[in-house]
């Protein structure tokens, strides 16, 4: 086994264990506090600092990773998650809103340090060209999301079997194994010789900036119905916790499987959407067939209108049952997964090695911003407008994501025409 593959498997293994605990925490908090009588909006507020500090962490984490190494930021993130899990093992009487928000803030910092380290690390170890990069990014992202879905189900099962505190203690013990794995990574992995200044954590590259904007609206479109609105809606129509956990788990697992298969589903030559149709380089150091381009992101963004529009029409006509909504959102998940996989590849494709961690950090700060916006609106829109209101906000965000993505097409074309092949 070569060194690059060994490092990739280490990064992936830690990321898997971390993601399993992260998905379980989300489901445990939503279901336990709904069981305690908290309103949907209050439950959403429990995740406010989780998402807010995700924005801050991604900005600072990319800069920090470039200075001290991605192995150190991954170890820091894993350690903070263990602390956050142990904090939630206290008795229910101590679980005030402020206390849980603080624990979730630590978890949010931990999660985004770990994610940034893993994604930027893949850029550094995938040295065999962009076809390999697309496959490795798709696999680590897709498998991560499949395990997050498994984490949702695990959280629901552990809540029933061990209670809230027992579940948190078991998850903390599992994550100690993930921390041990990261100790095998070389010291200074991903650090650069010329230490970046603090201002460099903000991207100044138009392609990265517009991609980050599209990512913000894309994830807002998902989380506005996924985080609070859908699980509370399903419980309110009679689904028990096991069924809710199982559905959300299957949704995310299916989403992850589609992401992992994205290189094959989209086709290695970007059928119908390849910007380099004449065989020329695109000006970014990539030839045809290396991976998807901006047109792919635009297509799959606007395709998300179909399931959301159909569900809103069904709700308006009174024809939407719980099963109709869940099946419609399953189709949304397939399309969303291909779009998300394209985005995850493009941010690395647009980034040179020396700026990988900073650009990934900035990009995932926008991702966290979309989750924050979606989380707050998920509780608020459902409480005051019902499931139709949450899906309506999702449709608006999809339209914005598609509109912003169109700018990437023009920027890629400009890059292509700055290359010698365009002359």
The string of pLDDT tens digits covering residues 245-275 is 788 888 888 888 888 888 788 764 443 334 3
pLDDT at 290 over 60: no
Provide the percentage of residues in the chain whose pLDDT is more than 90: 28
Nearest alpha-carbon partner for 346 in 273, 279, 416, 412: 412
The string of pLDDT tens digits covering residues 348-377 is 788 765 566 677 778 878 888 898 899 889
Q: Is 389 within 8 Å of 41 (Cβ atoms)?
A: no
User: Any idea what the CATH number is for the domain that residue 94 is in?
Assistant: 1.20.1250.20
Q: Which of 59-63, 129-133, 260-264, 378-382 has the lowest mean pLDDT?
A: 129-133
Work out the average pLDDT over 374-396.
92
Q: How far apart are the first and last CA of the chain?
A: 43
pLDDT at 300 over 70: yes
- Number of domain units in the chain: 1
Per-residue burial over 54-86, b if 16 or more Cβ lie within 10 Å, else e, is bbebbbbbbbbbbbbbbbbbbbbbbbbbbebbe
Work out the average pLDDT over 39-47.
82
Work out the average pLDDT over 221-250.
87
Q: What's the pLDDT at 402?
A: 95
Domain limits for position 273: 3-192+200-422
Rounded to an integer, what distance in angstroms lies between the CA atom of residue 310 and that of residue 347? 31
- Assign 286 a pLDDT band (cuts: 50, 70, 90): very low
- Assign 95 a pLDDT band (cuts: 50, 70, 90): confident
SS3 356: helix
Report the half-sphere exposure of 128 (CA within 13 A, side-chain side): 9
Q: What's the pLDDT at 127?
A: 57
Rounded to an integer, what distance in angstroms lies between the CA atom of residue 309 and that of residue 99? 39
Q: What's the pLDDT at 381?
A: 92
């Amino acid at each position: 086994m070569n060194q690059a593959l060994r490092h990739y498997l280490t990064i992936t293994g830690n990321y898997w264990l971390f993601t399993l605990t992260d998905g379980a925490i989300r489901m445990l908090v939503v279901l336990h506090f709904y069981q305690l009588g908290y309103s949907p909006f209050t439950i959403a507020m429990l995740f406010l600092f989780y998402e807010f500090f995700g924005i801050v962490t991604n900005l600072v984490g990319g800069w920090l990773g470039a200075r001290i190494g991605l192995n150190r930021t991954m170890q820091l993130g894993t350690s903070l998650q263990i602390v956050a899990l142990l904090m939630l093992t206290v008795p229910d009487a101590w679980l005030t809103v402020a206390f849980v928000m603080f624990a979730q803030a630590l978890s949010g910092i931990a999660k985004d340090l770990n994610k940034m380290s893993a994604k930027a690390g893949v850029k550094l170890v995938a040295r065999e060209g962009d076809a390999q990069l697309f496959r490795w990014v798709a696999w680590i992202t897709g498998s991560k999301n499949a395990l997050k879905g498994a984490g949702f189900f695990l959280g629901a099962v552990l809540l029933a079997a061990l209670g809230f505190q027992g579940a948190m203690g078991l998850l903390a013990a599992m994550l100690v194994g993930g921390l041990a794995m990261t100790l095998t990574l070389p010291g200074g992995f991903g650090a650069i010789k010329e230490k970046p200044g603090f201002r460099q954590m903000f991207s100044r590259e138009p392609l990265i900036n517009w991609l980050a904007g599209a990512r913000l609206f894309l994830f807002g479109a998902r989380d506005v119905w996924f985080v609070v609105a859908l699980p509370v809606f399903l419980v309110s129509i009679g689904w028990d916790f096991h069924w809710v956990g199982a559905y959300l788990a299957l949704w995310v697992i299916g989403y992850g499987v589609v992401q992992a298969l994205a290189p094959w589903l989209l086709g290695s030559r970007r059928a119908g959407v390849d910007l380099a149709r004449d065989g020329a380089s695109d000006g970014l150091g990539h030839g045809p067939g290396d991976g998807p381009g901006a047109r792919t992101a635009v297509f799959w963004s606007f395709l998300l209108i179909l399931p959301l529009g159909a569900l809103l029409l069904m709700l308006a006509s009174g024809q939407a049952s719980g099963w109709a909504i869940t099946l419609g959102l399953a189709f949304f998940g397939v399309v969303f997964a291909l779009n998300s996989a394209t985005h995850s590849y493009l941010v690395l494709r647009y980034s040179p090695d020396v700026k990988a961690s900073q650009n990934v950090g900035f990009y995932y700060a926008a991702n966290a911003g979309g989750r924050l916006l979606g989380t707050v609106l998920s509780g608020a829109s459902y409480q005051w407008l019902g499931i139709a209101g949450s899906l309506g906000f999702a449709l608006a965000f999809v339209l914005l994501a598609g509109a912003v993505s169109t700018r990437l097409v023009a920027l890629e074309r400009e890059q292509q025409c700055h290359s010698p092949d365009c002359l």
